[in-house]
Amino acid sequence: MGSVGHQSSTFAVTTPLYYVNALPHIGSAYTTIAADAIARFHRLLGDPVMMITGTDEHGQKIQRTAEERGVAPQDHCDEIVSGFQDLWQRLNIRYDRFSRTTAERHEAIVKAFYQRVWENGDIYEGRQQGWYCVSCEEFKEERDLLKGNLCPIHTNKEVEWRDENNYFFKLSKYQEKLEQLYAGQPDFIQPTSRRNEVLSFVQQGLQDFSISRVNLDWGFPVPSDPEHTLYVWFDALLGYVTALLEPEDEPTLDNALKQWWPINIHLIGKDILRFHAVYWPAMLMSAGLPLPGRVFGHGFLTKDGQKMGKSLGNTLDPLVLVDQYGADAVRFYFLKEIEFGRDGDFNETRFINVLNADLANDLGNLLNRTLKMAGRYCDDKIPTVAPETFEDDHPLQSKGSGLATQVQAAFDRLAFSEACEAALGLVRASNKYLDDTAPWSLYKQGEQAETEAVLYAVLESVRLAGYLLSPIVPSLATAIYNQLGFEGNFDELAIGQHFPYQTHSGWGLLPGGQALGKAKPIFQRIEVEA
Ligand code: MSP
C-alpha cells in the first residue's frame, strides 16, 4: 500500500507584494500559481497553512502612474488591486491573506519595526548621490547602466540623477552576520545559481542603503523625521509581517509574529533577489527577529524565445489565457513545462500540445474509457478485489506505492515539474497496462475477476495521480474524485482532513462497491484551427 508519514507543522509562504503600477501580467501570475501550489500541497499534508499575497502600493512609481492617469493615488491603487483579486479568483488561487501596504494597520507595524532598528543604532542621516531607476525603485551603479543611461532591467527607462539628504540603514554592519547565515544555512537562498549570485554580490562588500526619500508624498512619513518619506522597499517587505495579523488583532509586532513567524518560504523572481536575500535578513537581524526559512528566486518567462515586455509589445495577458483555456491548463503548463528556478518560454503551439497530450489524452481519456468499462462490466461500481490479487510486483501497485514519497520530495524542493512528471509516469504506465491486459477481451472471455482487477488497478492509479496533482490542477482532481464516487472538493481549506494524506497518498485506497459518478471528459481536447 505504502502511504507516507508526515510530521505536521505550520507552513507560511509568500508571493512578492506586487506593484500596482499596472494590472497583473503573466510574471505576477507565475509566482502566485507556484505559491498556491505549494500551499495546497501543505494543506493536503494536513499542515496549518498561511499563504500570503498582496500589493505594494507606495513610492514614486505608483505616485507617477496615478498622476499620469489623473487619479488620486489611493483610487488608482484600489482599482488595480481589484484587478489582481479578480485574476487570483479566476486562476483558482486560495490565498489566506491579501496584504496591502496602504492598509492602516500596516503603518503601525512599520513604525514599530523602524523603532527597533532605530534603537539598535542602525539608522543615520547622510547624503545620497546616485542614479535612480523609478521602475525598479532602486539606485543603480553607474557601471551597470546601459548606453544612454538606461536601466539594465527596464531597458527603455532612463535612470534619474539624485542628490539629496536621506536616512540610511547600516547594511555594512551586517556583512559578517550575513556571510555566516549563508554558510550556516546553505539552502537559505535557492536555487544554487541564485545563491552564488548573492554570495558574489556580498563578497564585493556591502554598502549602507538609503531608506528615505524627499520630494515624495506617497508613502509613510519616516517616524523619526516626518519631513522624509519612507523608502518603498523598507515599507513593502514589512507587508509580509502585517499580513500575519488576525483581523481582530491590535497591530503590534508581537501580535503579528506570534503564530506564523518566521515565514517558511519567500517565493520571488530573480530580479528582486537582493532585497529578499540581503537587505531583508539584515533588517530582521537589526530588529532582533528570526529569519525566514528560504528565499527561492525563480526565473523569467519569455515568449517565443524573446523577453516579454511592454516595449516589445509581446506581453501575455493572463486573463486572456485563463478565459480561453481555463485555470488548470494555465497552472499546469507553467509548472510542468518550466523547471522552477530557470527561465522558461511560452509558445502557444507548445502550450496546446502539452495540454492535449498530458491532460486530455493521457489522463482524461484514460479515466473516461476505464470508467465506461467499469460502468458496463462492473455495474457502475468500483470493483471489489481481493487484497492478495495485487502482488508486490504488480506494475501499477509497485509504481503507485512509491509515488507519494517521490512527489512529496519534489514539492519540498519546489520542483513542480518533477512532481508532475512523476505523477504522469503512473498515468502513462496505466495506459500501457490497459492496452497490454485488454480488459475488453478478458470480459468477452468471461474472465470477470481478472477484468475487475485490471479496472480497479487503473482507476486507483488515476485516483492517486489526481490526488498528488491536485495542488497543481485542483479542478481536474476534483472531477476525477467525483467521477470515482467521492464527495468533496480539492478547493476546501480542510482538504487534509477530508481526504487525509496518510491514506490517500497510498496505492489501494479505492473502496470496492463504491458507486461511480457519471463519466464525463475532464479536459476537452483543444482543437486548433488550421
Ligand atoms: N513590489 C515589488 C515586490 C515587493 S515584495 C515585498 C515588485 N513588484 S513587481 O510587481 O514588479 O514584481 C513582482 C514579481 O513579478 C517579481 O518577483 C518579478 O520577478 C516577477 N516578474 C516580473 N516579470 C516577470 C517575468 N517576465 N517572468 C517571471 N516573473 C517576472 O518587484
The finding on whether 16 has its CB within 6 A of some atom of ligand 1 is yes
| Averaged pLDDT, groups of 10, the chain, 530 residues long | 67 97 92 98 98 97 95 97 98 98 97 98 96 92 92 88 96 98 98 97 96 94 96 97 97 97 97 97 98 97 79 82 97 97 93 98 98 97 90 93 97 98 98 98 97 98 98 98 98 96 97 97 89
CATH code assigned to 347-504: 1.10.730.10
Cα distance between residue 294 and residue 250, in whole Å: 28
- What residue has cell string 524627499? 214
Burial level of 5, CB count in 10 A (0-12/13-18/19+)? exposed
Q: pLDDT digit string (tens) for 385-398?
A: 987 889 888 999 99
The finding on whether 18 has its CB within 6 A of some atom of ligand 1 is yes
Q: In the numeric block, which cell numbers belong to residue 73?
A: 493615488
> Closest ligand 1 atom to the C-alpha of 299?
28
Distance 86 CA to ligand 1 centre (A): 18
Strand 138-140, strand 123-133: pairing: antiparallel
The finding on whether 17 has its CB within 6 A of some atom of ligand 1 is yes
Distance 18 CA to ligand 1 centre (A): 6
The finding on whether 235 has its CB within 6 A of some atom of ligand 1 is no
Nearest CA to ligand 1 atom 16: 269
HSE of 417 in the Cβ direction (CA atoms, 13 Å)? 11
Q: pLDDT digit string (tens) for 301-326?
A: 988 887 776 666 778 899 999 999 99
Distance 15 CA to ligand 1 centre (A): 9
Nearest CA to ligand 1 atom 24: 27
The finding on whether 14 has its CB within 6 A of some atom of ligand 1 is no
Under 8 Å between Cβ of 300 and 340: no
The finding on whether 30 has its CB within 6 A of some atom of ligand 1 is yes
Strand partners, 190: 296
Which of 15, 26, 30, 265 should be mutated for ligand 1, with most atoms under 8 A from CB? 30
Domains of the chain, residue spans: 347-504
Which of 233, 268, 317, 343 should be mutated for ligand 1, with most atoms under 8 A from CB? 268
Which of 23, 26, 57, 272 should be mutated for ligand 1, with most atoms under 8 A from CB? 272
The finding on whether 27 has its CB within 6 A of some atom of ligand 1 is yes
> Closest ligand 1 atom to the C-alpha of 267?
17
The finding on whether 344 has its CB within 6 A of some atom of ligand 1 is no
pLDDT, position 249: 96
The finding on whether 31 has its CB within 6 A of some atom of ligand 1 is yes
Nearest CA to 337 out of 472, 447, 471, 229 is that of 472
Global pTM reads 0.96
Distance 298 CA to ligand 1 centre (A): 10
**Sheet with strand 221-222: strands edge to edge:** 212-213, 225-230, 221-222
pLDDT, position 512: 96
Cα distance between residue 26 and residue 43, in whole Å: 25
Beta strands in 134-271 (DSSP E): 138-140, 160-169, 189-190, 209-210, 212-213, 221-222, 225-230, 265-269
> Closest ligand 1 atom to the C-alpha of 309?
26
pLDDT, position 1: 42
pLDDT, position 307: 74
Distance 106 CA to ligand 1 centre (A): 21
Nearest CA to 66 out of 224, 218, 258, 270 is that of 218
pLDDT, position 392: 82
Distance 268 CA to ligand 1 centre (A): 7
Distance 316 CA to ligand 1 centre (A): 15
> Closest ligand 1 atom to the C-alpha of 301?
27
CA distances from 170 to 125, 286, 470 (A): 11, 9, 45
CA distances from 454 to 382, 384, 426, 438, 460 (A): 11, 11, 14, 9, 10
pLDDT, position 5: 62
DSSP string across 371-440: HHHHHHHSTTBPPP--GGGS-TT-HHHHHHHHHHHHHHHHHHTT-HHHHHHHHHHHHHHHHHHHHHH-HH
Which of 28, 135, 265 should be mutated for ligand 1, with most atoms under 8 A from CB? 28
The finding on whether 107 has its CB within 6 A of some atom of ligand 1 is no
